[in-house]
Amino acid sequence: MNAALPPDAVAAQAVRQVLYDDMSPLNLAPLWEVLHNLVPLQPNSPCVPALWKYEQVRPFLLRAGDAITAEEAVRRVLILENPALRGKSCITQSLYAGLQLIRPGEVAPAHRHTQSALRFIVEGSGAYTAVDGERTTMRPGDFITTPSWTFHDHGNDADVPVIWLDGLDLPLVAHLDAGFAETASAKTQFVSKAEGSSFARYGHNMAPVREANAMGRSSPIFSYPYERSREALHQLERDAPVDAWDGVKLRYINPLTGGSPMPTMATFMQRLPAGFDGKAYRQTDGAIFSVVEGSGTAYIESHHGKQTFAFSPRDHFVVPSWQTLRLESNSGCVLFSFSDRPVQQALGLHREERLA
């Protein structure tokens, strides 16, 4: 290769290589050799778009139920790994996603950790999550949070298995070397509050006069029922203009701040009306989607190429950072999604581009 270079360039390269070799034992490296990778002209995520068809994933979840108990596993979850990041337990470089199964009569024991978590119920009703002494019953389409450093356990008192999507900021917290965890002294925590008490306090555009938020920087509401979200989406579809890119899209909020329910993850629910043929957009926050109702198609374009995902109820797909997404639905559908947008907004990094 050097033979094709001018003599002066060959000599300069040799001098530089000697410099690199001599300083390497001192753990020094030349910035100029890697600067373009460290400061790219635009996001160039190694993550690729991916689709997980529920009809293909569900049998493996059930087999996992036969292979290990919820208590043995602590959390019986199949990780949705990005195909370009296998072995790293993440769906984007900052977020984790997985599908968790709890069978009738089982308990996933109580613990807590600094990572924030969300649950989006995919299949089955009647299981529960307990957070900070309050239980909430799970139903399909419900969005439930587990704020950082709150004790939580899951159980299933119903007669059917329950499956939900887990979303956590695990890779982000690991990158910051800020992870702590603690196992509770009992499998299930003492229930000290009536179900729905947090929603009664904070879910009606009101808040207690003298009561500190026990959830810290997260929303004091930890259960957002789907029936309320669905009603809002359908009313807006009837009565308000439909956005050409998103259809009807709402974000979940912390009622005390108006911000995201958790400081590291934003969550959204959107309705694509029947016949929706959306315009393309891209954003720096890579997003994970869970199909709640209906079917449609996601068209994704990036430096990795073009992909088309035909999605149905309970399917999941990921659109990484700065990769163009266009959605359409002939029959209409509802999509839940989450991303790391609050972190990017707090750092002044978030960008979105809506394409004509």
Note the pLDDT tens digit of each residue in 329-351.
999 999 999 999 999 999 999 99
pLDDT greater than 70 at residue 195: yes
> What mean pLDDT do residues 29-44 have?
95
> What mean pLDDT do residues 163-187 have?
97
Percentage, residues of the chain above pLDDT 90:
95
> What mean pLDDT do residues 2-20 have?
89
Smallest CA-to-CA distance from 352 within 319, 329, 328 is with: 319
pLDDT tier, 4 (very low <50, low <70, confident <90, very high otherwise)? confident
- How many helices (H) and strands (E) would you count in the chain? 8, 23
Report the pLDDT value the prediction gives residue 356, as an integer from 0 to 100.
86
When the candidates are 3.10.20.740, 2.60.120.10, 2.160.10.10, 2.60.40.420, the CATH number that belongs to 50-354 is 2.60.120.10
Whole-number Å distance between alpha carbons of 65 and 335: 27
- Strand, coil or helix: what is 116? coil
Q: What is the mean pLDDT of the chain?
A: 96
Report the pLDDT value the prediction gives residue 211, as an integer from 0 to 100.
87
The tokens describing 150, both together, are 């709150």
pLDDT greater than 70 at residue 1: no
Residue with tokens 């890697």: 34
Contacts 24+ apart (CB under 8 A), 246-250: 246/270, 246/278, 247/271, 247/272, 247/273, 247/276, 247/278, 247/327, 248/272, 248/273
Report the pLDDT value the prediction gives residue 87, as an integer from 0 to 100.
97
pLDDT tier, 260 (very low <50, low <70, confident <90, very high otherwise)? very high
pLDDT greater than 90 at residue 215: no
Report the pLDDT value the prediction gives residue 3, as an integer from 0 to 100.
58
Report the pLDDT value the prediction gives residue 121, as an integer from 0 to 100.
98
pLDDT greater than 90 at residue 281: yes
> What mean pLDDT do residues 125-151 have?
97
pTM of the model: 0.95
Report the pLDDT value the prediction gives residue 2, as an integer from 0 to 100.
55
First to last CA, the chain: 45
- Strand, coil or helix: what is 204? coil
The tokens describing 264, both together, are 């590291």
Percentage, residues of the chain above pLDDT 70:
99
Report the pLDDT value the prediction gives residue 13, as an integer from 0 to 100.
94
pLDDT greater than 90 at residue 213: no
- Strand, coil or helix: what is 233? helix
Residue 211: burial class (beta carbons within 10 Å; 0-12, 13-18, 19+) = exposed
pLDDT digits (tens, 9 = 90+) for 289-308: 999 999 999 999 999 999 99
Report the pLDDT value the prediction gives residue 155, as an integer from 0 to 100.
96
Whole-number Å distance between alpha carbons of 84 and 104: 35
pLDDT greater than 90 at residue 10: yes
**CA dihedral (51, 140, 135, 254) positive or negative:** positive
pLDDT greater than 60 at residue 229: yes
